Amino acid sequence: MEINGKRIEKLGFKAFKKGFYNEWKSLTDAFKKENDISLNEASEKAFNELSTKSS
């Protein structure tokens, strides 16, 4: 499984700008462990969920 570091970094920066970086990081880790998915998928899923909640 290849990690797309640039995409994850971009999501982290966007999460920081929106004020939920720490939550994004924690949720990414939880999704990765609970669902046995890649870091890329977990970070996207966490960002999308938190973006929806903060809207």
Q: Which pLDDT belongs to residue 32?
A: 96
Q: Which pLDDT belongs to residue 42?
A: 97
Q: What is the pTM of this model?
A: 0.90
Compute the distance between CA of residue 1 and CA of residue 3 in angstroms, rounded to an integer.
Answer: 7
**∠ CA 5-28-38 to the nearest 5 degrees?**
60
pLDDT tens digits for range 4-33: 899 999 999 999 999 999 999 999 999 999
Residue 36: pLDDT over 80 = yes
Q: Which pLDDT belongs to residue 3?
A: 85
Residue 1: pLDDT over 70 = no
